[in-house]
Amino acid sequence: MKFNTKVIHAGVHPDPATGAIMTPIYQTSTYVQEEIGIHKGFEYSRTGNPTRAILENNLSAIEGGKFGACFGSGLAAIDAVIKMLNPGDEVISTNDLYGGSYRIFTTIFEKYGINFHFVNMMDVNNIQEKINSKTKLIWIETPTNPMMNIIDVRKVCKIAKESKIVVAVDNTFATPYLQRPLELGADIVMHSVTKYLGGHSDVVMGALITSNESIAKEIYRIQNSSGAVCGPMDSFLVLRGIKTLHLRMQRHCENGEKIARFLVSHPLIDRVYWPGLESHTNHEVAKNQMNGFGGMISFTLVGDDLDMAKKVVSNTELFTLAESLGGVESLIGHPSTMTHASIPKEERVKSGIVDSLIRLSVGVEDSTDLISDLENALKI
């Protein structure tokens, strides 16, 4: 089954009770048992819910995995992965990553004895230098947020397998339409489902997908024990959103390229970060492991002036100043004061998150209107 068919049909079946073609919203907390322990597969909705189960099956199918688990947010999914570790274990993470991931690693889990090393993974040799007998997890984000760096997943997984280290990949920016990390050798894929998979800025959710049964059992144990699950209504909304994922992502990619090339030619723009540009450091890696380059773009202004950046993000009309990304509408943000404000400035600057850095989530509107909007905003 091809990907464009999977998003609509994989793991989804007509409702056996009514024949409804759309998955019903099973808005219930508990389920009738005929006798003690005899039921129809569901006991309590924290442990399992029919609407959520169908979504989990659909997500695992489109990522090329065997097991899926959905959570109340992307951070709840990350939380579950780190809970698989023990005090004294070490994690190697990319140094350019979502601020919320950095925050949960350093302010929540470090105090429980889990140690994190943040390295530039554009050069995989940096990973090798940090591996020791305590290393249990390598955390990859590619493309990275917000610098759009590309990490060679195959190479990282090869290094990890030599030391029997689990590799988890945050695939939020790419989605399985563009990149499927399990096929590249990763053990776990994480999604902030809130973003492209939901696609309409109306859901907060996270997900984990794996093909490893022992990892899956541990994920399900933590999902049930910690209880950070998503509800059936949100599951329904995401199932609906995923049915148009391929259509939306195609337009995101098309618009992304047009806007990236417009920005490259603009005199007020210093640098443009988009993996589809031939000038991108790991452009060739992106070509090899992705099926396209997406609609996320970051850029800096000539002179790196904070006030100028604030004016630009406030002057757009179609690009809405807001957190988040991946919806049908275009968004604009200022990472150093918004999504990545929790990262110390010294660390932000090291990874390229300077004062004038602006991040775009390019939507599916008409590209000429979006370019015109940016042209007007840059008249400062």
The closest alpha carbon to 169, from 275, 63, 14, belongs to: 63
How are strands ordered across the β-sheet holding 358-361? Answer: 269-273, 296-301, 358-361, 331-333, 320-321
CA-based max dimension of the chain: 73
Which stretches of 12-144 are DSSP H helices? 50-62, 74-82, 99-103, 125-130
- For the annotated catalytic residues, the residue numbers are 46, 98, 170, 195
Cβ count near 7 (within 10 Å)? 24
Cα–Cα dist 171/180, whole Å: 8
The closest alpha carbon to 239, from 210, 208, 203, belongs to: 203
Task: Work out whether the CA dihedral 23, 28, 33, 34 comes out positive or negative.
Answer: negative
Please, how many CA atoms are within 13 Å of residue 84, restricted to the half-sphere of its CB? 25
Cα–Cα dist 129/117, whole Å: 11
